[in-house]
């Protein structure tokens, strides 16, 4: 892959947010191939074999709930062969066992691919017991099952990827119509990890376009309907503290993203579709130095966000207006409820959700989201022990001999009135358009 260097970088204490980087060629050739680009200061070449080395250390998670089996098969066919694929499904098991159908179809194509998929149901009894044994009970509902939600499935699969000994974890939605786009996203995750110097790195895909039919013609829209608003508010949050307006964040809602396992273990998560904007918010909360000074290891190594613009169009299942509204409201809520969200931005958010009819005008943003503390506090030895008789346990190659769960991080207090935050003089930038 040949990719431009980031033109802009927003720095926030130890956090670096790279501006969107454009891909110029999808295939960058082999490591030892003669190539003029080595002398080009603005283009980085990530050789095919370098990407391959990263893929061998990467788990790709495919969350599923009620998708067409043909779509899932297409997505799986696009994932590079050496990635460990983890499919976590929350499809209904009654009255018809949809998960059984999915598992059967996936194992069948796995024979042709000569590939062992790790496929689990989000509410599987053995997994639930393992989560409970690990002490990470936040993920369980009152009935003692793993809660519903995409984020909850992602957190569970992060625990499985950790046991598989993977260094990187990436997420790809299961409703993507283009296997070529899926393959490209994974290559872009690899490019970001290759470019980064930090063990705390996240790659986020900014789609080149999302095709739609408008008046019988294909129209390639640049952004999704929710993302535009999420990005604007996240950028305002950053501007508030830096004192400079910015448009750096273009991937506030990126479902397609990947992290180093070290970062995946350190982050707190939030529920459902708010998980992606919360990545930015939580990193700012934890490491931005606003609430407390960042820990030494993060201060030294830094945290890097890469945003890469893909070449393939992103075509996925359309799930309706209400779904987009709910997703957008969840994104707004997760920013609004953050203790680092200044009162003026809260007012902006409220006005925005009312203007867009995400909430009735007389309603305030409620607290509907759940928050999950960093996974490094879970007891992975116990988690593994509970799963030792499962067919996929052979994939658990992580050596846990010296593993001890870390102490829980101090809880981030979520106050509706972020009263302790200083008013800075750049308030004028924060008005709603
Ligand atoms: N395991 C699991 N559990 N998977 C789920 C669940 C669940 O409860 N709910 C949804 N999924 C799966 C879906 O099957 C799909 O593969 C993926 O998660 C994304 O869910 P969608 O409901 O299709 O979301 P979307 O396509 O509208 O939104 C996507 O793009 C947004 C950015 O525009 C998601 O990735 C969002 O998280 C993202 O913000």
Domains, in order of start, for the chain? 13-392 (3.90.550.10)
Q: Which atom of ligand 1 is nearest to the CA of 275?
A: 37
Q: Looking at ligand 1, which atom is closest to the CA of residue 88?
A: 1
Cα-to-centroid distance, 173 and ligand 1 (Å):
6
- Which is the closest atom of ligand 1 to the Cα of 254? 32
CA of 12 to the centre of ligand 1 (A): 30
Shortest-distance Cα residue to atom 5 of ligand 1: 150
- Positions of the chain with pLDDT under 50: 416-433
Q: Using a 6 Å cutoff on CB, does residue 227 contact ligand 1?
A: yes
Residue nearest to atom 8 of ligand 1 (CA): 149
The confidence score (pLDDT) of residue 289 equals 93
175 CB under 6 A from ligand 1?
yes
302 CB less than 6 Å from ligand 1?
Answer: no
Give the pLDDT confidence of 69-102 residue by residue, as tens digits. Answer: 999 999 999 999 999 999 999 999 999 999 999 9
CA dist 189 and 28 (Å) reads 15
Confirm or reject: Cβ of 149 under 6 Å from ligand 1. yes
Whether the CB of 252 sits within 6 Å of ligand 1: no
- Residue 54 has a pLDDT of 98
- Residue 67 Cβ inside 6 Å of ligand 1? The answer reads yes
Distance 150 CA to ligand 1 centre (A): 6
Does the CB atom of residue 319 touch ligand 1 within 6 A? yes
- Ligand 1 in reach of 134 Cβ (< 6 A): no
Which residue of 61, 63, 71 sits with most ligand 1 atoms within 8 Å of its CB, as the best mutation to test the pocket? 63
């Amino acid at each position: 892959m040949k990719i431009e260097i980031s033109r802009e970088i927003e720095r926030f204490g130890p956090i670096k947010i790279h501006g969107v980087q454009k891909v110029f060629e999808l295939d960058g050739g082999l490591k030892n191939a003669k190539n003029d680009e080595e002398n080009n200061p603005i283009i980085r070449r990530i050789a095919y074999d370098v990407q391959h080395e990263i893929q061998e250390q990467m788990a790709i998670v495919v969350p599923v709930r009620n998708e067409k089996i043909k779509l899932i098969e297409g997505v799986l066919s696009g994932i590079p062969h050496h990635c460990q694929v983890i499919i976590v499904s929350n499809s209904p098991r009654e009255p018809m066992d949809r998960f059984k159908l999915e598992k059967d179809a996936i194992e069948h194509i796995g024979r042709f691919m000569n590939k062992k998929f790790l496929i689990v149901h989000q509410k599987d009894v053995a997994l639930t017991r393992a989560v409970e044994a690990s002490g990470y009970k936040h993920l369980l509902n009152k009935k003692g099952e793993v809660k519903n939600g995409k984020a909850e499935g992602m957190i569970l699969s992060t625990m499985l990827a950790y046991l598989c000994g993977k260094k990187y974890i990436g997420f790809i939605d299961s409703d993507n119509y283009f296997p070529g786009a899926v393959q490209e996203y994974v290559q872009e995750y690899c490019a970001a990890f290759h470019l980064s110097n930090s063990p705390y790195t996240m790659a986020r895909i900014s789609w080149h376009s999302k095709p739609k039919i408008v008046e019988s013609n294909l129209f390639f829209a640049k952004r999704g309907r929710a993302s535009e608003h999420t990005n604007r508010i996240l950028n305002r949050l950053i501007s508030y503290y830096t004192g400079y307006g910015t448009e750096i964040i273009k991937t506030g809602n990126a479902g397609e993203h990947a992290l180093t396992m070290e970062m995946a273990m350190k982050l707190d998560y939030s529920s459902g579709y708010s998980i992606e904007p919360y990545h930015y918010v939580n990193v700012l909360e934890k490491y931005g130095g606003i609430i407390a000074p960042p820990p030494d290891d993060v201060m030294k190594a830094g945290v890097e966000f890469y945003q890469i613009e893909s070449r393939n169009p992103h075509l996925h299942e359309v799930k309706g207006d209400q779904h987009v509204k709910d997703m957008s409201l969840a994104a707004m809520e997760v920013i609004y409820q953050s203790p680092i969200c200044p009162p003026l931005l809260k007012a902006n958010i409220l006005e925005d959700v009312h203007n867009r009819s995400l909430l009735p005008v007389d309603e305030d943003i409620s607290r509907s989201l759940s928050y999950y503390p960093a996974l490094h506090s879970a007891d992975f030895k116990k988690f593994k022990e509970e799963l030792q008789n499962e067919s996929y346990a052979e994939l658990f190659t992580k050596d846990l001999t010296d593993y001890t769960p870390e102490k829980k991080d101090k809880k981030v207090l979520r106050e509706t009135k972020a009263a302790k935050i200083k008013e800075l003089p750049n308030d004028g930038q924060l008005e709603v358009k």
